[in-house]
């Protein structure tokens, strides 16, 4: 495993670091040809799509092994993209692998796994609280052999340039159980009636392509009923299946960011002199930030690896509380480490001359998406308190 991790690290350093700054602060789209070359190079080196089974063209890693690779990929904002294991595609691949029909797998999953197309996941709506997405206005009404979809979604990440969306829509409004009203349906984005309204600007940054967050609408979008994933009304059950491992993937990536940011913090601390032979690193406050960051990253890594192991052994449902715990803990560590690194860099830290400002803006969403901190803390607290309340 150590050798494999080293191979990924060397690949990223040699091929991805040189273009990341321009691709992130310049045009991502303009760098797509080079990124596609790198994807082909990753295939040649047998490193592409490490999360997939060997039969599907991947490395057949288990979740703990993938966690270690994912950390290295997270060192660069482009790492996961180059190896085709970026969100939301990785979550969609896992979902379709488990629950899609053979026809859907052939038509959509295969090209997604091969990196020929991208996808997105459209659940959240501007009109309803995404933290508790049981109330959705988007509908999919059966008409002959088809569904007709109507609705308005936002934060459909990576919709710009994606080939299809997995859309969460109400198919069973009459269901008594609120968790059995919605279904997941594949909608190709060239379907008449689909519109990407805009890429939503995030903290001053209008992302594009895979780095975008789309506001989208579906007006009388007609797709065959065979585009249903799983069973009718199973949407929320599938969303839980998708989000459990998805949260692990995010946490692994965040630890990779933390590692790189800590390196930047240390490099700046030793190279920036306050006076002759007085580098910042000699200041106790800076030393404490480095020590605290190191300890927090180490704790976060161990918690994530342990949770990955729990999922492997007992499944995502059984590891629900552990998943909630790492989701808010690791995103908090991420925010703290990036913030300290910016402070150590002084004015340079808030410029776009380093990746720190990108991560500061881009990763603020970590405390919100896939469940805001408060929701996950409540899950954990309730689990702790149940032992006391029952007495």
Ligand X SMILES: Cc1cc2nc3c(=O)[nH]c(=O)nc-3n(C[C@H](O)[C@H](O)[C@H](O)COP(=O)(O)OP(=O)(O)OC[C@H]3O[C@@H](n4cnc5c(N)ncnc54)[C@H](O)[C@@H]3O)c2cc1C
| Chain contacts with ligand X (rule: CB under 6 A) | 88, 121-124, 129-131, 155-157, 213, 365, 368-369, 372, 374-375, 378
- Closest CB to ligand X among 86 and 157? 157
Instruction: Considering the complex, state which of residue 310 and residue 331 has its C-beta at the smaller distance from ligand X.
Output: 331
Min dist CB 276 to ligand X, Å, is 45
Of 355, 360, 358, 335, which Cα lies nearest the Cα of 268? 355
Task: Say if residues 299 and 334 touch (Cβ distance below 8 Å).
Answer: no
Choice between 130 and 279, CB closer to ligand X: 130
CA distance 148 to 152: 14
Nearer to ligand X by C-beta: 39 or 213? Answer: 213
How far is the C-alpha of 153 from the C-alpha of 160, rounded, in Å? Answer: 14
CA dihedral for 92, 95, 97, 103, sign (positive or negative)? negative
Kindly state the smallest distance separating residue 128's Cβ from ligand X, in Å: 7
Q: Which is nearer to ligand X, 138 or 307 (CB)?
A: 138
Q: Please state the closest distance from residue 150 (CB atom) to ligand X, in A.
A: 17
Residue among 233 and 372 whose Cβ is closer to ligand X: 372
Q: How far apart are CA 65 and CA 246, in angstroms?
A: 15
Coil vs helix vs strand at 274: strand
CB closer to ligand X, 125 vs 296: 125
CB of 204 to ligand X, least distance (A): 14
Q: CA-CA distance, 184 to 34, in Å (whole number)?
A: 34
CB of 67 closer than 8 Å to CB of 305: yes
Q: How far is the CB of 159 from ligand X (least distance, A)?
A: 8
Question: In Å, how far from its chain's centre is CA 59?
Answer: 20
User: Are 28 and 40 contacting, i.e. CB atoms less than 8 angstroms apart?
Assistant: no
CB of 362 to ligand X, least distance (A): 8
Give me the least distance between CB of 385 and ligand X, in Å please. Answer: 15
Cβ-contact 156, 216 below 8 angstroms: yes
Torsions phi, psi for 235 (to 5 deg): -55, -45
| Residue of 39, 43, 119 whose CA lies nearest to 81 | 39
Q: Of 84 and 119, which has the nearer Cβ to ligand X?
A: 119
Which residue lies nearer to ligand X by CB, 119 or 310? 119
Torsional class of 208: left (φ above 0), alpha (ψ -120 to 50), beta (otherwise): beta
Q: How far is the CB of 115 from ligand X (least distance, A)?
A: 19
Min CB(154)–ligand X separation in Å: 8
Distances (CA, A) of 123 to 147, 165, 230, 266: 17, 10, 16, 40
**Which single residue brings its beta carbon nearest to ligand X?**
130
Q: How far is CA 323 from CA 131, 247, 352, in A?
A: 16, 7, 33
Q: How far is it, in rounded angstroms, from Cα 147 to Cα 217?
A: 15
- Residue pair 245/91 in contact (Cβ under 8 Å)? The answer is yes
């Amino acid at each position: 495993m150590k050798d494999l991790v080293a191979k990924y690290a060397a690949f990223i350093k040699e091929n991805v670091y040189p273009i990341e700054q321009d691709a992130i602060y310049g045009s991502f789209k303009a760098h797509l040809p080079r990124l596609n070359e790198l994807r082909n190079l990753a295939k040649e080196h047998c490193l592409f799509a490490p999360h997939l089974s060997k039969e599907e063209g991947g490395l057949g890693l288990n979740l703990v092994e993938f966690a270690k690779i994912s950390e290295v990929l997270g060192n660069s904002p482009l790492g996961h993209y180059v190896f085709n294991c970026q969100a939301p595609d990785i979550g969609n691949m896992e979902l379709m692998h488990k629950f899609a029909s053979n026809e859907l797998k052939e038509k959509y999953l295969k090209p997604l796994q091969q990196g020929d197309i991208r996808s997105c996941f459209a659940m959240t709506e501007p009109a309803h609280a995404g933290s508790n997405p049981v109330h959705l206005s988007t509908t999919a009404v059966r008409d002959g052999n088809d569904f007709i979809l109507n609705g308005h979604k936002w934060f459909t990440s990576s919709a710009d340039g994606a080939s299809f969306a997995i859309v969460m829509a109400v198919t069973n409004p009459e269901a008594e159980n609120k968790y059995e009203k919605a279904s997941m349906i594949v909608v190709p984005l060239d379907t008449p009636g689909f519109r990407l309204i805009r890429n939503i600007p995030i903290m001053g940054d209008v992302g594009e392509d895979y780095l975008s967050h789309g506001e989208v609408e579906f007006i009388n979008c007609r797709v065959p009923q065979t585009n249903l994933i799983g069973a009718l009304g199973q949407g929320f059950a599938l969303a839980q299946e998708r989000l459990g491992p998805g949260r692990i993937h995010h946490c692994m990536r965040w630890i990779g960011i933390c590692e790189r940011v800590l390196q930047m913090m240390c490099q700046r601390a030793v190279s920036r002199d306050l006076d002759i032979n007085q580098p910042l690193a000699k200041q106790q406050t800076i030393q404490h930030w480095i020590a605290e960051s190191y300890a927090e990253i180490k704790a976060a890594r161990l918690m994530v690896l342990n949770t990955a192991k729990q999922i492997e052994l007992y499944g995502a449902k059984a590891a629900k509380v552990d998943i909630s715990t790492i989701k808010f803990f690791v995103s908090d560590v991420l925010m703290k480490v990036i913030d300290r690194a910016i402070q150590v860099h002084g004015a340079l830290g808030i410029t776009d001359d380093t990746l720190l400002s990108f991560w500061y803006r881009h990763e603020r969403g970590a405390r919100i998406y896939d469940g805001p901190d408060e929701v996950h803390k409540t899950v954990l607290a309730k689990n702790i308190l149940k032992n006391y309340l029952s007495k």
